[in-house]
Amino acid sequence: MAGRAVAPGRYDGCVAPFAIRTYGDPVLRQRALEVEEIDGRLAQLAEQMIDTMYEAPGVGLAAPQVGVRKRLFVYDTGDGAGARVIVNPTIAESDGEWTFEEGCLSVPGLSWPIVRPRDVHLTGWDLDGAEVSLEVSEYDARVFQHEVDHLDGVLLVERLDPDQRKEAMRILRARTLDLRAGDPDGLGALLGEDHAARQATRAGRATGGPPDHAVGGAAGL
């Protein structure tokens, strides 16, 4: 499962990438089930998830985001180690506090400054069935927490403060109505230019800063 970088917009056609499920899809609200067997099928699923993640492009992707209720996620935070897979992850410990402009591939185009623990100790298994134990901080810790949330059926909107959440719900409801009306572009008109400009500014700025390698910035989780 070594990282095989697929340039955005280009795809080598080995395995078809999945469609990424977006806000409103019930699978994103369900708790995923423990993986009971690490086998070839799981490895194939992980490989397709990695292709889907690079294609998005994103830095992390959890199985429910491609409609699979299994507890695994893939990630590549750009440290040169390539894409990795964590099966049945658990956040064993967390500490500190860190604010980061966080987005989600399942809530495309939106991001919010969200406070979460700065340091986490993540345990789980890799595709060889070997135990994984990772102590990470800041950006990597944020990716892990975001992906584990997905496995618990939790979306980042649930991590917002009440004011942020109210605004988020308004935007997402408007977006759903626009999509139903077959007018995905109606969102901008509805929200006005100020909002669109603010979102664009937010997307380009992160508290603590996403590394340059984070293609798509904060939104690629």
User: Which parts of this chain interact with Ni ion (CB under 5 A)?
Assistant: 104, 221
Of these residues, 147, 158, 167, 193, which one is catalytic? Answer: 147
Nearest-CB residue to Ni ion?
104
Angle at 71 between CA 19 and CA 56, to 5 degrees: 25
DSSP letter assigned to residue 128: T
Taking the complex as a whole, the smallest distance from the CB of residue 219 to Ni ion amounts, in Å, to 9
Taking the complex as a whole, the smallest distance from the CB of residue 183 to Ni ion amounts, in Å, to 25
Long-range (24+ apart) CB contacts under 8 A made by 124-128 are 124/86, 124/87, 124/88, 124/89, 124/90, 125/38, 125/86, 125/87, 125/88, 126/84, 126/85, 126/86, 126/87, 127/1, 127/38, 127/42, 127/43, 127/46, 127/85, 127/87, 128/38
26, two tokens: 């019930």
Taking the complex as a whole, the smallest distance from the CB of residue 142 to Ni ion amounts, in Å, to 11
> Which amino acid type is present at position 12?
D
Residue closer to Ni ion, measured from CB, 186 or 199 = 199
Q: Sign of torsion, CA 140 141 146 151?
A: positive
Residue closer to Ni ion, measured from CB, 38 or 84 = 84
Cβ 57 vs Cβ 216: under 8 Å: yes
C-alpha distances (whole Å) from 167 to each of 110, 115, 161, 198, 201 are: 11, 17, 10, 13, 17
Residue closer to Ni ion, measured from CB, 69 or 189 = 69
Taking the complex as a whole, the smallest distance from the CB of residue 205 to Ni ion amounts, in Å, to 19
Residue closer to Ni ion, measured from CB, 25 or 186 = 25
Residue closer to Ni ion, measured from CB, 117 or 186 = 117
- Quick check: is 147 catalytic? yes
Which amino acids are annotated catalytic? 147
